[in-house]
Chains A and B, each alone.
Chain A
């Protein structure tokens, strides 16, 4: 009798449709690490190899890696959560981290253990292959695709098919730089204009019949310099989705800058060439692709609908009381779906961090509450549990309370995005990660999540000018740097206002530098200004939008006016007067900037 035969199995849960893994990559990785340690592999080739397999470098050390596990279209299944839970305990720091691009990351992994992680991931069909490096990164899809009432159709199957087509595809192994696809449900929930290829599902009447297709945006992206994507054409029919993707990648592959690492994303090519010329090239290239590709080259789009079965409830729920905080949570963390009686529930994390126990609980929660039997990673370091029946919400909330996953404010400004910052990243100048947590804790304490005026705003914090936390499209965005008073350095942030990522995608405008320990008072002051000057029906987002567009006529008319009010708050005290000012969050030693080599470009 072996133990495993006796362990109760949970084979009843939904299974992934696609296996992304290849077990031989684990052995290959282990052997390559050995060769590298023996000096038989040079640094540069090894780094490229490592990144191609999804193992990123770690701050100030070559002993550890971060393993970035891709969740194509954001989908994650119960068994996968259980495996990630175990892996986070065995090889990482007892917790994992959700990124803004639907990856889940294991940090501080010993390089020699990475192959063991690959082995376990393969058992549940997951991979980190091409999660880093100059390849097609995780293909994202809106966490609301399939349940959003504004969508024309569910783009999830197209996102999965695109991910499958390009994963390990020879044409995508050595691009000039990383390449990103984002699919969405509708204009409002998407992030399609700040990515290499962004797609919104669209339906057109052609010769009296409905034709599925997409609005495609090209050449957007956030970073040291950010650009907004351009729409390729009115409508791209679904048959042309793959041809268009291949055409765009071929042009990027051919013409992209392979020398200047700081300017080699496709957005720079589009900007340098000019949109019209780029657009023309894409359309011509697509004609060639369409004419020359073999008929077997196509996306394998599996549109079989998912089985929706409400999990059976064994326990008797009559008389169960409604826990405190339920109404607040219901309002700030859930959305009605287009399917009546169902809601999507967003689980709020602190800057994307989740413990191994919570990862395990997620598996149980999916099995007990999601009628689709899986979850979706969101755009803001969170997890969406969808197809939860209205009648099960109180019970679900009680369970979330037990596991510390019931934080409110998930769909409001009180849940900031924070990249990993100095907790693990070589490029970081500040502890943006901890700052995001500090803001969240403070704002929940102040119950700002219950303020309707603040729901549609966002706060996003990057630890350096690169945009992993997507600060450029935040209502209030920050990126880290160092400030100085005399000889003494302190952690500092550049603040921008008025960014947005919907149909009116705009990059935020620079306002002023805010020392780390003044960020919270500065945001509160902005809210106070807004409350004093708002018009009826205003939200913070709409008020700031008018200001950055020069169409506000109250006392505060411009970014400059806001800056004037805030300036007194950001004056650095001397080190003698306020030593804490000179420490970054989470640190008890004097602040100094220190960075290593970045690996975004390999």
Chain B
């Protein structure tokens, strides 16, 4: 794959989503907990709590869920959460993984949507099942075995999206630290494209490398980073979806910052 791939649209802005909702040309997925969804949500959105997805995220199960949400291969999907886009990213990435190509993130969080006074609803829409095909995109997934061998190559960049203190304490050898908060702008879940590009460029994270992201346990924070990379045109990003939790359970090697009591500098 080549660095000249044009950057992909990874977010949908508020105005576009509102008109798509009016046209009924979009499936909106709310990934918050069921209780929160029932209280209120973006009109016509369907609920897929992240926990429901994670309870079994095998391709077959995901396909069933996608079908039950009335999504076929052609349905444009927009995902939102109230957790700075990280949970929405994990769901969006899973859709991409089973082969759905038209999925984006709402540019902002539900909390912000509400505080802007935009329309909400408490009705659950009637959805009829659809048939989505299965076209597994294995090249956006990194397993621990894959990661272990890929790490040995010079052109692979490994990114840790947990908070800085966690990284200093323990990380996968060779990973660079890019805390998930760095990816957001003051009011959007992701920085504007030029801003994001500059950040990556300063760090030497370039679109023509293979880039693997990971975080603490289930690939949410690193899912957001996956979309941040995509937004700048990186065409070969992968998510190590089982992340550091699995890496540690497998007792693979880790690194740490030695000889400094950085935790004591934290005010928590």
Interface residues of A (CB under 8 A from B): 1, 3-4, 6-7, 30, 33-34, 37, 58-61, 86, 89-95, 97, 107-108, 110, 112-113, 115-116, 349-350, 353-355, 358, 420-424, 431, 433-434, 437, 584-587, 594
Whether A4 lies near B187 (C-beta < 8 A) is yes
Whether B186 lies near A355 (C-beta < 8 A) is no
Whether B267 lies near A434 (C-beta < 8 A) is no
A116 to B203 Cα, complex, angstroms: 11
Given A61-B260, A423-B264: 15 more A-B contacts, CB < 8 Å: A6-B117, A59-B259, A90-B182, A90-B184, A93-B164, A93-B265, A94-B163, A107-B265, A112-B203, A113-B182, A354-B267, A355-B266, A423-B260, A424-B265, A433-B264
Q: Which residues of B contact A420 (CB under 8 A)?
A: 265
> Known contacts A110-B177, A112-B202: does B257 contact A61 (CB below 8 Å)?
yes
In the complex, chain B residues 38-85 whose Cβ is within 8 Å of any chain A Cβ: none
A354 to B267 Cα, complex, angstroms: 5
Whether B267 lies near A6 (C-beta < 8 A) is no
Whether B204 lies near A37 (C-beta < 8 A) is yes
Task: With both chains docked as a complex, state the minimum distance between the C-beta of A55 and any C-beta of chain B, in angstroms.
Answer: 14
A108 to B268 Cα, complex, angstroms: 16
Task: With both chains docked as a complex, state the minimum distance between the C-beta of A95 and any C-beta of chain B, in angstroms.
Answer: 4
Task: With both chains docked as a complex, state the minimum distance between the C-beta of A6 and any C-beta of chain B, in angstroms.
Answer: 5
Whether B165 lies near A431 (C-beta < 8 A) is no
Most chain B CB atoms below 10 A, which of A93, A423, A433, A587: A93
A350 to B181 Cα, complex, angstroms: 25
Q: Which residues of A contact B154 (CB under 8 A)?
A: none
Most chain A CB atoms below 10 A, which of B112, B188, B265: B265
Q: Which residues of B contact A349 (CB under 8 A)?
A: 267
A586 to B264 Cα, complex, angstroms: 7
A435 nearest CB neighbor, chain B only: B264
Whether A30 lies near B265 (C-beta < 8 A) is no
B249 at the interface (CB under 8 A from A): no
A112 to B257 Cα, complex, angstroms: 18
10 A-B pairs closest in CB distance? A353-B267, A423-B265, A95-B267, A434-B264, A586-B264, A586-B261, A89-B181, A355-B267, A59-B260, A3-B187
A107 to B267 Cα, complex, angstroms: 12
Whether A585 lies near B267 (C-beta < 8 A) is no
Task: With both chains docked as a complex, state the minimum distance between the C-beta of B198 and any C-beta of chain A, in angstroms.
Answer: 8
Whether A93 lies near B259 (C-beta < 8 A) is no
Task: With both chains docked as a complex, state the minimum distance between the C-beta of A382 and any C-beta of chain B, in angstroms.
Answer: 13
> Known contacts A37-B204, A108-B164: does B261 contact A95 (CB below 8 Å)?
no
B108 nearest CB neighbor, chain A only: A3
A576 to B201 Cα, complex, angstroms: 53
A59 to B198 Cα, complex, angstroms: 27
> Known contacts A3-B188, A587-B261: does B202 contact A33 (CB below 8 Å)?
yes
Dominant SS among interface residues on chain B? loop
Whether A60 lies near B259 (C-beta < 8 A) is yes
A90 to B177 Cα, complex, angstroms: 11
B168 at the interface (CB under 8 A from A): yes
Most chain A CB atoms below 10 A, which of B107, B108, B264: B264
Q: Which residues of B contact A61 (CB under 8 A)?
A: 257, 260
Q: Which residues of A contact B260 (CB under 8 A)?
A: 58-61, 422-424
B134 at the interface (CB under 8 A from A): no
User: Would you give 29 A-B contacts (Cβ < 8 Å), ordered by A?
Assistant: A3-B14, A3-B116, A7-B116, A30-B202, A59-B259, A60-B258, A60-B260, A90-B179, A91-B182, A92-B164, A93-B164, A93-B168, A93-B266, A108-B164, A108-B165, A112-B204, A113-B203, A116-B202, A353-B265, A354-B267, A355-B267, A421-B261, A422-B261, A423-B260, A423-B262, A423-B265, A434-B264, A586-B264, A594-B259
B15 at the interface (CB under 8 A from A): yes
A6 to B13 Cα, complex, angstroms: 14
Q: Which residues of B contact A421 (CB under 8 A)?
A: 261, 264
In the complex, chain B residues 115-136 whose Cβ is within 8 Å of any chain A Cβ: 116-117
Q: Which residues of A contact B266 (CB under 8 A)?
A: 93-95, 353, 355
B2 at the interface (CB under 8 A from A): no
A59 to B199 Cα, complex, angstroms: 24
Q: Which residues of A contact B184 (CB under 8 A)?
A: 90
> Known contacts A1-B15, A108-B164, A110-B203: does B116 contact A6 (CB below 8 Å)?
yes
Q: Which residues of A contact B199 (CB under 8 A)?
A: 113, 116
A421 to B264 Cα, complex, angstroms: 10
Most chain B CB atoms below 10 A, which of A86, A108, A434: A108
Q: Which residues of A contact B181 (CB under 8 A)?
A: 86, 89-90
B165 nearest CB neighbor, chain A only: A93
A94 to B117 Cα, complex, angstroms: 30
A1 to B112 Cα, complex, angstroms: 14
Whether B202 lies near A113 (C-beta < 8 A) is yes
Q: Which residues of A contact B204 (CB under 8 A)?
A: 37, 112
Task: With both chains docked as a complex, state the minimum distance between the C-beta of A208 and any C-beta of chain B, in angstroms.
Answer: 55
Whether B179 lies near A89 (C-beta < 8 A) is yes
Q: Which residues of A contact B258 (CB under 8 A)?
A: 60
Task: With both chains docked as a complex, state the minimum distance between the C-beta of B102 and any C-beta of chain A, in angstroms.
Answer: 23
Task: With both chains docked as a complex, state the minimum distance between the C-beta of B105 and any C-beta of chain A, in angstroms.
Answer: 14
Q: Which residues of B contact A437 (CB under 8 A)?
A: 264
Whether A423 lies near B202 (C-beta < 8 A) is no
Q: Which residues of B contact A350 (CB under 8 A)?
A: 267
A491 to B131 Cα, complex, angstroms: 68
Q: Which residues of B contact A1 (CB under 8 A)?
A: 14-15
> B1-40 CB contact bits vs A (8 Å, 1 = yes)?
0000000000000110000000000000000000000000
B183 nearest CB neighbor, chain A only: A90
A437 to B163 Cα, complex, angstroms: 23
Q: Which residues of A contact B165 (CB under 8 A)?
A: 93-94, 108
Q: Which residues of B contact A89 (CB under 8 A)?
A: 179, 181
A570 to B257 Cα, complex, angstroms: 32
Most chain A CB atoms below 10 A, which of B168, B188, B204, B260: B260
B265 nearest CB neighbor, chain A only: A423
Task: With both chains docked as a complex, state the minimum distance between the C-beta of B186 and any C-beta of chain A, in angstroms.
Answer: 7
Most chain A CB atoms below 10 A, which of B107, B181, B263: B181
A6 to B117 Cα, complex, angstroms: 9
Whether B186 lies near A86 (C-beta < 8 A) is yes
Task: With both chains docked as a complex, state the minimum distance between the C-beta of A265 and any C-beta of chain B, in angstroms.
Answer: 27
Q: Which residues of B contact A86 (CB under 8 A)?
A: 181, 186
Whether B163 lies near A93 (C-beta < 8 A) is yes
Q: Which residues of B contact A433 (CB under 8 A)?
A: 261, 264-265
Q: Which residues of A contact B168 (CB under 8 A)?
A: 93, 108
Whether A358 lies near B259 (C-beta < 8 A) is no
Task: With both chains docked as a complex, state the minimum distance between the C-beta of B181 and any C-beta of chain A, in angstroms.
Answer: 4
Q: Which residues of B contact A93 (CB under 8 A)?
A: 163-165, 168, 262, 265-266
Task: With both chains docked as a complex, state the minimum distance between the C-beta of B256 and any C-beta of chain A, in angstroms.
Answer: 12
A86 to B108 Cα, complex, angstroms: 17
A86 to B117 Cα, complex, angstroms: 24
Q: Which residues of B contact A94 (CB under 8 A)?
A: 163-165, 266, 268
Q: Which residues of A contact B203 (CB under 8 A)?
A: 110, 112-113
> B182-209 CB contact bits vs A (8 Å, 1 = yes)?
1010111000000000110011100000
A116 to B202 Cα, complex, angstroms: 9
A411 to B124 Cα, complex, angstroms: 57
A349 to B179 Cα, complex, angstroms: 25
A30 to B181 Cα, complex, angstroms: 20
Whether B267 lies near A3 (C-beta < 8 A) is no
Q: Which residues of A contact B264 (CB under 8 A)?
A: 421, 423, 431, 433-434, 437, 585-586
Task: With both chains docked as a complex, state the minimum distance between the C-beta of A2 and any C-beta of chain B, in angstroms.
Answer: 8
A594 to B265 Cα, complex, angstroms: 18
Q: Which residues of A contact B188 (CB under 8 A)?
A: 3
B118 nearest CB neighbor, chain A only: A6
Q: Which residues of B contact A354 (CB under 8 A)?
A: 267
A584 to B14 Cα, complex, angstroms: 53
Task: With both chains docked as a complex, state the minimum distance between the C-beta of A510 and any C-beta of chain B, in angstroms.
Answer: 26
